[in-house]
Structure 1
Amino acid sequence: MNEMSRRGLADAGADQRGLPVAPASRGRFRRGSGTLAALDIGSTKITCLIGRVESDGHLRVLSVGHHRSRGIRAGSVVDLELAEASIRAAVAQAEELADTQVREVVANLSCGQPESRHVTVQLHLGGHAADDTSLRRIVAEGRARAYAEGREVIHAIPLSYAVDGTGGVKDPRGMVCETLAARLHVVDATVGTLRNLASCLARCDLDIEAMVAAPFAAGLASLVEDERELGVTVVDMGGGTTSLAVFADGQLQHTDVLPIGGQHVTNDIARGLSTTIAHAERMKTLHGSTQAVPEDDRELLPVPLVGEDDHAIAKVPRSMLVGIIRPRLEETFELVRARLDDAGLGRAAGRRVVLTGGASQLIGVRDLAAQILDKQVRNGRPPSPRGLPDSASGPAFAVPVGLLVWAATEGQIARDLAPAGHAAPPGLVARIATWLRERL
């Protein structure tokens, strides 16, 4: 019930021995991956990336399709017809540019109230050597123990192993022991929300190959190896949600999602200045900032009033716009700080923060985050795979690029995890999507 693909996909982040694998940025990708498709379902835009791994082991982006998001709120589907139309438009654009047809996608997970926790599993080996089967049993047992009514396990990532009580073991295979223990990081989400997402993608004639937590994907695209080892927090500032992921010891240690994002800033501007949402978004993009300067009081911005005639234009100082934007972003980073404190991660969260997502591009956001979180902050930009246009190389595209990276590395390796002829049962999301596709 807990596997994410009818082909027996195993846990994200585990290699074919059941061990954590290194993100692709540490080396080349697996060859012979075929066509890969990543679908970032955001609250403000839908993005589809199609790529492949070339013969020299490098990832190439074949096309990028994106479309304004409709029918999506806080990462969740709220209107099937509108969401279907937006997803179809983004995928069709990418398909046309790549001259190929997409059937399976790796999609982001930011909906369904994702929860992150650690599970410890102990396996009795009775003096035998640990092998691949032992590690598979560890992961399966971890997923079973993490099961909660009404929720579906998305990730179950082995973080470390202990052999007869001796911890810090990275690879226990071949080691003789009485007991083998493992600590796993589990991420799950509510089944109802995943059903709606699966239904929407089924209407688009798409299968869910796998789902990857949005901040996990952003981290794969934006972090360097030393950051992942020493400890770092990724804060992905999307339109409807702000998600965070903590990496340490080279592994994903924690994820969380806040139901607040760039759209809330836009709505605050629209309400505060009595203007349209479209113009509020334009003002935020062109003139938005979290930093007040003396010239702000003298610089007047035109504001068309909502519901008034076209000639009804008000003039407001830029300082008023800053005064609306800054409190909302302060609240966002205070909530991030509170969630990190509640998680009790301490040193694991590290002293560095990497900001990604479209909302992170506002002037002054980096300094504001450093002030409130009391950490060193940098803006994350995904590395540019071959073929990725400059327009898609900024922080706003960290998640879709990371999804494509996952598909080319962890996703490809995960297909090999199930023994030949013994594919694991398909996951709930995949089963729902298949059932719906057969009846649409």
Structure 2
Amino acid sequence: MDDNKQDKRKDEYIFGLDIGESKINLFVGVSEGENVRVVECGDFPLKNADEFDSVVETLQQAVQVIENTTRVDVHDVYVGIAGKHVRSLDTQGIVTLPMGEVREEDIDNVTKQASTLPASAGEIIHIFPGEYNLDDEPHIRNPKGRSGRRLGVDVQVVTVKQNALQNLAKCVNRAGLNVAGFVLEPLAAASAVLTNDERELGVALVDIGAGTADIAVFVNESVRFTFSYEYAGNSITSDISRCLNVPIALSKAEEIKKKFGTCVISNLIEDDTFPVPAVGNRGDVSCSRKLLAEIITARVGEIFCKLNEQLKVHQLDSIINGGIVLTGGCCALEGIEDVACKVFGKPVRVGRPKGMSGIQEAYQNPSYATGIGLLYYANKQHREKKNRETGTQIAVSMKKGFQRVLEIIRTYL
């Protein structure tokens, strides 16, 4: 009896893995119905994200530390994915309705048709049906049960280059883990930071990490658009390293960005300085904090402009009535939401993980939105799987019961 309870308890654990450019986050949670209780959040610096062995080694260390801390075996993980190898495609499908009425199988068929892509498009990780059209009637959210002749749908398909997906899976497997599923990182982050009101009105989530700046547009439960820009936090660090009046290493530039960086220029004066070690142990050199803020703000503004251009090209800026929500490590920069507000011309807020029990205050931070969001996503998948299994068990039990009744009837007839 106790063993069964223990096994069931193990099944309730869920795991999220976020492999970024500068760190690996490994999260452990427990499914509690619609809620998730955070058991542990691991934050592990990554020396070289481009080196396969370095990532595997760091991930193995992360697993060992988490397992020792929680005494739980980390196994099936939901893995966040983003970057230049991710593509978002708009596709359409249309089918005839043989019964003259929209059935569940018709909805499945039109979605399948819309998401049938050539192999060159990459591996599909998400399919997001948008609005349906029935004959001449557009903008239908749920067409099931309606009468008509032809059913169409607009679909957003997210794909990943096959070799990128294979390499990421291989990395996770080498560390002794199984991939339960790949999740688009902005989708995961949205699970942790967006409100229902924002989704209903239409909202853009902007996730600025170290390697990429990713944007996703949400309307209700549908993802309308995603885009990844390859300039983000590391680009800001690189600008600081190049543009200050004293040459400094990237590691030092990153430290300066975190300690003295700001996007608020108006409050700074010319003689507001900070010390920077000169090359070759030649003492400290004073650098202008206003210059630092100008360097940072210029790059941040450029990143937001690039993302805003994409919204306008795809005519999405008009449906984002819920504004912009910022997540990611760069949100630690003071005043970044003000820069975003000027560029996008929309209300902007910084998104922090919400609504989870057991989470430490330190992890209610935009930089952990993706990792915490992966637990939300994993929990949803976990519950849907259990519901399907329960439904199957009920169906089997009913069938057996019916057969038993027939046997009894035959026996007494």
RMSD across aligned positions (CA):
2.5
Map 1:233-312 onto structure 2 (within 5 A). Answer: 233-273=204-244, 274-293=247-266, 295-306=268-279, 308-309=280-281, 311-312=282-283
**C-alpha contact (below 8 Å) 1:112/1:194 kept by paired residues:** no
Q: Normalising by structure 2, report the TM-score.
A: 0.85
Distance 1:221 1:364, change over 3 A: same
| Alpha-carbon distance in structure 2 between the residues aligned to 1:376 and 1:218 | 19
Q: CA deviation at 1:411?
A: 5.8
Note the alpha carbon deviations across 1:245-298, whole angstroms, 9 max, x for none: 111244211111110111211122122331232222221112111222464322
**C-alpha contact (below 8 Å) 2:123/2:159 kept by paired residues:** yes
| Alpha-carbon distance in structure 2 between the residues aligned to 1:57 and 1:217 | 16
Counterpart amino acid of residue 51 in structure 2: D
Corresponding residue for residue 9 of structure 1: none
Distance 1:32 1:91, change over 3 A: closer
Map 1:296-375 onto structure 2 (within 5 A). Answer: 296-306=269-279, 308-309=280-281, 311-350=282-321, 352-375=323-346
Q: Which has the higher helix share?
A: 2
SS at match of 1:297: coil
Question: Which of 68, 71, 87 is matched with 2:59 structurally?
Answer: 87
SS at match of 2:85: coil
Counterpart amino acid of residue 272 in structure 2: E
Note the alpha carbon deviations across 1:45-79, whole angstroms, 9 max, x for none: 1101111212x54211111111012332xxxxx21
**C-alpha contact (below 8 Å) 2:331/2:366 kept by paired residues:** yes
Note the alpha carbon deviations across 1:118-150, whole angstroms, 9 max, x for none: 222222231254443333333332321x34415
Q: CA deviation at 1:413?
A: 2.5
Q: Which runs of 5+ in 2 are unaligned?
A: 1-8, 393-413
Q: CA deviation at 1:321?
A: 1.4
**C-alpha contact (below 8 Å) 1:62/1:97 kept by paired residues:** no
Corresponding residue for residue 41 of structure 2: 64
**C-alpha contact (below 8 Å) 1:110/1:243 kept by paired residues:** yes
- Is 2:26 the partner of 1:48? yes
**C-alpha contact (below 8 Å) 1:124/1:179 kept by paired residues:** yes
User: Which stretch of structure 1 is more off in the superposition, 135-144 or 222-231?
Assistant: 135-144
Distance 1:128 1:294, change over 3 A: closer
Note the alpha carbon deviations across 1:348-390, whole angstroms, 9 max, x for none: 2336111111101201111111112211111111104111111
Corresponding residue for residue 349 of structure 2: 378
| Alpha-carbon distance in structure 1 between the residues aligned to 2:69 and 2:10 | 21
Question: Which of 53, 76, 83 is matched with 1:111 structurally?
Answer: 83
SS at match of 2:354: coil
Counterpart amino acid of residue 92 in structure 2: T
User: Which stretch of structure 1 is more off in the superposition, 251-260 or 97-106?
Assistant: 97-106
- Is 2:12 the partner of 1:34? yes
Distance 1:52 1:63, change over 3 A: same
Distance 1:206 1:121, change over 3 A: same
* Structure with the greater alpha carbon radius of gyration: 2
| Alpha-carbon distance in structure 1 between the residues aligned to 2:34 and 2:10 | 9
| Alpha-carbon distance in structure 2 between the residues aligned to 1:135 and 1:41 | 35
Q: CA deviation at 1:320?
A: 2.2
Q: How many residues align?
A: 382
Q: Normalising by structure 1, report the TM-score.
A: 0.80
Corresponding residue for residue 106 of structure 2: 134
Q: CA deviation at 1:84?
A: 0.8
Q: CA deviation at 1:231?
A: 1.2
Counterpart amino acid of residue 198 in structure 2: E
Corresponding residue for residue 74 of structure 2: 102
> Per chain length, whose mean CA-contact separation is higher, i.e. which structure has more relative contact order (CA < 8 Å, sep 6+)?
1
| Alpha-carbon distance in structure 2 between the residues aligned to 1:371 and 1:99 | 48
User: Which stretch of structure 1 is more off in the superposition, 119-128 or 167-176?
Assistant: 167-176
| Alpha-carbon distance in structure 2 between the residues aligned to 1:120 and 1:304 | 58
Corresponding residue for residue 21 of structure 1: none
| Alpha-carbon distance in structure 2 between the residues aligned to 1:98 and 1:132 | 43
- Is 2:85 the partner of 1:124? no
Q: CA deviation at 1:224?
A: 0.7
Q: CA deviation at 1:324?
A: 1.8
**C-alpha contact (below 8 Å) 2:128/2:157 kept by paired residues:** yes
Corresponding residue for residue 26 of structure 1: none
Counterpart amino acid of residue 73 in structure 2: Q
Distance 1:33 1:173, change over 3 A: farther
Q: CA deviation at 1:167?
A: 3.4
User: Which stretch of structure 1 is more off in the superposition, 372-381 or 273-282?
Assistant: 273-282
Question: Which of 177, 194, 208 is matched with 1:206 structurally?
Answer: 177
Q: CA deviation at 1:410?
A: 4.5
| Alpha-carbon distance in structure 2 between the residues aligned to 1:257 and 1:414 | 31
| Alpha-carbon distance in structure 1 between the residues aligned to 2:95 and 2:47 | 47
**C-alpha contact (below 8 Å) 1:142/1:156 kept by paired residues:** no
SS at match of 2:239: helix
| Alpha-carbon distance in structure 1 between the residues aligned to 2:288 and 2:317 | 42
Q: Which runs of 5+ in 1 are unaligned?
A: 1-30, 73-77, 421-440
Q: CA deviation at 1:200?
A: 1.0
Distance 1:411 1:239, change over 3 A: farther
| Alpha-carbon distance in structure 2 between the residues aligned to 1:32 and 1:57 | 18
SS at match of 2:40: strand
